[in-house]
A and B are shown apart, each in its own frame.
Chain A
Amino acid sequence: MSALLDHLPEFWQGLVVTLQMTAASFLGAAAVGLVIVAMRVGPVPVLRAVATVYVETLQNLPLLVLLVLAVFGLPEIGLKAGLTTTAIVVIALYEGAYIAEALRSGVNAISAGQGEAARALGLTFGQSLRHVVLPQALSTVVQPLGNIFIALTMNTSLAAAVGVVELTAAANRVNLLEAQPIPIFVGAGLAYAAVAACAGFVTGRIERRLAVAR
């Protein structure tokens, strides 16, 4: 237990990095997911195909492989960015594919008549997506999006493998000094669990607020 308490500042620092990465990459993933789903349900065949390939590719690669590839591969071709930034971008691109799929199932759950009615009124495809289809689609997929958020939080720990000192890496460092893996990693695990519990709570609140009478 003292192993944990003696190193609270390191743990705190790691937790802050984890939370920053989680927030930044979730925002990025949401943006990527919106763009991809708009392409995927849209009327332009080329964009639909690109979006499909994007989703299929990213869902079939391990995130760790992408992280290693980006961190060690990009500098080779002259692209240099900070470790944490690189990790955030990779996680955003990766989780964006999952968000796009969740949103797409939401769009499919909305009757085609909603989009048709919007377009028949003169809204462009983008406007009908933004004002009519997506708001309703979102309210049906709050739970899956919450689950993606939690998975994303856990996935930020993979950044430890490429040298980002987030919560897991911080715990690992403390353990190298103290050699008390059980309290140290249980402590780190509890911190992740707390984030997940908060996400679950917020998801439930949002879901109830967005519930649409049908």
Chain B
Amino acid sequence: MIRVRGLNKWFGEHHVLHDVDLDVARGEVVVVIGPSGSGKSTLCRCLNRLEAADSGEILVDGVPVPGEGRALARLRADVGMVFQNFNLFQHKTVLENVMLAPTKVRGVSRAEAERTARELLARVGIAEQAGKQPARLSGGQQQRAAIARALAMRPKVMLFDEPTSALDPEMVGEVLDVMTGLAADGMTMVVVTHEMGFARRAADRVVFMDGGRIVETGEPNAFFDSPRTDRARDFLAKVLTH
């Protein structure tokens, strides 16, 4: 579903991604972990070209990610993204947030978009919040609304960049539950997270990044129980003792 080859990215002089290769199969859930600044977010944002790569190729469902314009917008419509700080549209209600892209991008009728939106809001457990402004919701509810908004486009892949890092601890669970449900339903997912429990539970594969490179990748239980590289071992020792 996603195929990345030889991806390089610089921010000025700073080489943030080094020759990254990554494959994500249809229905696969890949969790990306690694220390702060290792390039996880940048990799995630390159996949739908919110950041432009400097070299390398990225294919989504067999199609190279276009450089710009309508073709890029069409690709992004098929790739859902969930951000750390939700980024719900502040001037619209929760329901309108979920309806906007289907009506404007897919040309779905308002009635049908509303029906789908209400179904999705019910699926993520916030049906009663549909008429509220995002700022009136708790962080966990906002993030679930953001997931519903992305799902409304019926994406082929979902990207999550630290979806629970901005949440109070008691709200992390409700968002992870929604994500675990999605994974169980067969959604193709790339998830950047520090939630090791989620990685063990829901991931098909864990990718460990450090210093802009993919250092190790493997099946979750094998990776967490017996990491092969020293860097992964050090990292796990630090996060798991917390």
Binds A, one of B53-61, B76-84, B184-192, B211-219: B76-84
Contact A120–B76 (Cβ < 8 Å): yes
A-B interface contact total, Cβ < 8 Å? 76
Does B76 lie within 8 Å of A131, measured CB to CB? no
> Could you say which of B83, B105, B149 contacts A116, with CB atoms under 8 Å apart?
B83
Interface 0/1 of A105-145, CB less than 8 Å to B = 00000010110111111111001000110011001000000
Q: How many angstroms between the C-alpha atoms of A123 and B74 in the bound complex?
A: 8
Contact in complex: A119, B76 (CB < 8 Å): yes
Q: Mark B69-92, 1 if CB is under 8 A from A, else 0.
A: 110011011111101010111110
- In the assembly, what is the distance between CA of A106 and CA of B133, in Å? 20
Closest chain A CB from B68 CB (angstroms): 7
Look across to chain B and name the residue whose beta carbon is closest to the beta carbon of A43: B68
Say yes or no: is A214 at the interface (Cβ < 8 Å to chain B): yes
Inter-chain contact A123/B101, CB cutoff 8 Å: yes
B100 at the binding interface (Cβ < 8 Å): yes
Q: Are B90 and A136 in contact (CB under 8 A)?
A: yes
The interface bits of chain A over 35-46 (1 if a CB of B lies within 8 angstroms of the residue's CB, else 0) are 000000001000
CB distance from B51 to the nearest CB of A (A): 10
> Residue A123 contacts which of B48, B68, B73, B83 (CB distance < 8 angstroms)?
B73
Q: Cβ of A121 and Cβ of B136 under 8 Å apart?
A: no
Is B14 an interface position by the 8 A CB rule?
Answer: no
- B135 and A121 contacting across the interface, CB-CB below 8 Å: no
Show the binding face of B for A, using Cβ within 8 Å: 48, 50, 68-70, 73-74, 76-81, 83, 85, 87-91, 100-101, 104-105, 133, 135-136, 146, 149-150, 153
CB pairs A–B below 8 angstroms (24 shown) = A114-B89, A114-B90, A116-B50, A116-B83, A117-B81, A117-B89, A117-B146, A119-B50, A119-B73, A120-B81, A121-B76, A121-B100, A122-B76, A122-B153, A123-B73, A123-B100, A123-B104, A123-B105, A132-B89, A132-B91, A135-B91, A136-B89, A213-B90, A213-B133
Chain A interface (Cβ < 8 Å from any Cβ of B): 43, 111, 113-114, 116-124, 127, 131-132, 135-136, 139, 212-214
6 A-B pairs with the lowest CB-CB distances in the bound complex, closest first: A122-B77, A117-B87, A121-B101, A113-B87, A120-B81, A213-B135
